Amino acid sequence: MELLRTPDDRFADLPDVVSAPDYVEVDDPDGGPGIRVATYTAGLEDAPAVLLLHGEPSWSYLYRHVVDALVAADLRAVAVDLVGFGRSDKPARIADHSYARHVAWTRQAVDALGLRDAVLVGQDWGGLIGLRLVAAEPERWAGVVAANTGLPTGDVDMPQVWWGFRRAVEKAEILDVGRLVASGCARGLADADRAAYDAPFPDETFKAGPRAMPLLVPTRPDDPENGANRAAWEALGRYDRPFLTAFSDSDPITGAMGPVLRDHVPGAAGRVHPTIPDAGHFLQEDAGAELGRAIVAFTESLPR
């Protein structure tokens, strides 16, 4: 597996970065080389921790306004760039990416960070991966916030708007990552922020991750990851620790999953689950402060 590493100068002068990165190294479960994963930490070291997992095709820059809200409330924000995204190493081939590999890589990063009794926040692929982590180690997490995400098994077809997105990614000769993020925002996206989402990818050779992820979403009943995802659904059906859905009001891709998660996960019962208004798929961009306040209120409500 060939790994690419984005030069640091691509990230110079970005507006409102989360923090300076730290790095952990994870092993490839299929025997490939060690991979450097970028992590970001802000806030008091001994404060309750909140793990922030992004999705496709973004990186931890997405959470910068959420981080501000968490730190202002004396919480510790920890973000991880998925392998192939942000400042993390980038496997050069689409075939180097698999759902199982991304789960394993992210689990190792969480282990290296020493996170326990933290709140896990997952949006988009951050939830597809993060909910698998919760199902595998439910005792590790003080609570979970699912934000515009789900855990597909291929038993229910994906929305047509998602299929349009997948086809656009597959057919694009030049994949415009900043434009893809902007298309998932209800309130628009500034040019400087578009440039920040383009920054991890100096040219097309770096974009195997963003090109691969739509292909890895289970869309048929015989998908190779369906067994693991069905097992995760079963485990989530027993998850009685606090569970919050914080979905936006304008996401045609994942909007239907909010009620499904609330009905299925015991820890979601009896909670007021916020709907973030005037926000699209990337609700962290449209309403980062509002999402951050919802995460703060949830985290502060947990028994410690």
Report how far apart, in Å, the C-alpha atoms of 299 and of each of 9, 56, 103, 194, 261 are: 36, 25, 24, 31, 19
Can 102 be counted among the known catalytic residues?
no
**Cα separation of 296 and 183, whole Å?**
28
Catalytic residue (one of 124, 193, 223, 286): 124
CA 189 to mean position of chain CA atoms: 19
What's the maximum distance between 2 C-alpha atoms anywhere in the chain? 51
Residue 195: both structure tokens together: 């440039």
Can 124 be counted among the known catalytic residues?
yes
Catalytic residue (one of 81, 251, 273, 286): 251
Q: How many CB atoms lie within 10 A of CB 154?
A: 17
Q: Compute the half-sphere exposure of residue 7: CA atoms within 13 Å on the CB side of its CA.
A: 5
Closest CA to 6 of 193, 210, 211, 206: 206
Angle, helix 64-72 to helix 283-300, in steps of 10 degrees: 30
Residue 252: both structure tokens together: 């045609």
Can 251 be counted among the known catalytic residues?
yes
**Cα separation of 294 and 300, whole Å?**
10
Catalytic residue (one of 54, 97, 102, 281): 281
Which are the catalytic amino acids? Answer: 124, 251, 281
